[in-house]
Amino acid sequence: MTVIDSTPSFTDATGEITDYINESCIRVSFGAAGGAQIVDATGMTYYVYPPPVFAALDNGVIHIEIGENPDALVHINIENGTGFYGVHINDKAGANQHQSLTVDTDIRNFDGIVGFNSFIYSSTGATNIRGAGQELELDFTGVTDSHFDFISIDVISTGNGNNDIDAFHISPNVDHIIEMGSEDEIISAWYDNGTHLINITHLLADETNDTVLFVNDNDVVYIGSDVNFTFVSFSLEVPSSHNLGLEHYYCNSTGNWTELEGVTDTTNGLKVSGTLSFTNPYNR
């Protein structure tokens, strides 16, 4: 409903009718007002809309109501995703116990219910690529004496009868259940800005130091280690103002620079902190 006029004035306020008391009294929720106390109003004239499918209410509240038929859903179609994000949530915590995304699923008494499903496939076929169903990243730069779990599995109650609960249920087609790499140090790092070749090993190897990279077009950063690493992480103090469009090369066994395939870059061209991971070339 939308208020036309009232005493005191709530003109243009939008709310939800939650209860019919009698022919001269209704209870209205202005839930978008948060914890504010809303005084009773008299002499109110208002307009009642049909229950909305989508409503943008006061104080930043957005409400979506899905209908009760098999075709009702929220559908997002990205026909040709050329940007870094398909859907992006940028959330800054403002209170303890804040959760960026929560899915509450009431299974009632139905079989085969799934709380979250991520299905990945290729409609065209693919060769020499790399990807991940879920990429979980953590930048602990500046965090001290703290604890963090990438995955926390909690069972509140085991229920009744002969229930069976698996933390992980894995298909036999999986090659490795867990594959852990080694923690390797950057042995050598150089920055070529087109004019000078600068040794920046001490700046990249120590997270307390910062350095500016990619000032000019076609700048090059060389990174080397004693082992064939396949993972590099970046903690950005000041991110790039735009997607850098990075190109990735490796030095093969004959000493030639070759384009690196199977690259996963979560930094959006160094616009955000993230990781660069890739498939280890056979002739590296």
d(CA 274, CA 263): 13
The answer to the question of residue 250 being in a domain is no
Mean pLDDT of 244-258: 91
The answer to the question of residue 44 being in a domain is yes
The answer to the question of residue 195 being in a domain is no
The answer to the question of residue 116 being in a domain is no
The answer to the question of residue 264 being in a domain is no
Mean pLDDT of 264-282: 88
How many separate domains does the chain show? 1
What is the 3-state secondary structure of the chain? CEEEEEECCCCCCECEEEEEEECCEEEEECHHHCCCCCCCCEEEEEECCCCCCEEECHHHCEEECCCCCCCCCCCCCCCCCCCCCCCCCCCCCCCCCCCCCCCCCCCCCCCCCCCCCCCCCCCCCCCCCCCCCCCCCCCCCCCCCCCCCCCCCCCCCCCCCCCCCCCCCCCCCCCCCCCCCCCCCCCEEEEECCCCEEECHHHHCCCCCCCCCCCCCCCEEEEECCCCCCEEEECCCCCCCCCCCCCCEEECCCCCEEECCCEEECCCCCCCCEEEEECCCCCC
Checking if the pLDDT of 197 tops 90, the result is yes
pLDDT band at 32; cut points 50, 70, 90: low
The answer to the question of residue 79 being in a domain is no
The amino acid sitting at 109 is N
The answer to the question of residue 167 being in a domain is no
Mean pLDDT of 144-164: 91
Residues 6+ apart with CB under 8 A from 150: 136, 138
Checking if the pLDDT of 261 tops 90, the result is no
Instruction: Please give the residue range of the domain that contains residue 51.
Output: 2-64
Checking if the pLDDT of 26 tops 80, the result is yes
The answer to the question of residue 237 being in a domain is no
Burial track 167-203 (b if 16+ CB lie within 10 A, e otherwise): eeeeeeeeeeeeeeeeeeebeebebebeeeeeebeeb
Whole-model pTM: value is 0.63
Lowest-pLDDT choice from 88-102, 112-126, 192-206:
192-206
pLDDT band at 191; cut points 50, 70, 90: very high
How many other CB atoms sit within 10 Å of the CB of residue 267? 22
Checking if the pLDDT of 99 tops 90, the result is yes
More confident residue, 31 or 106: 106
How many other CB atoms sit within 10 Å of the CB of residue 13? 20
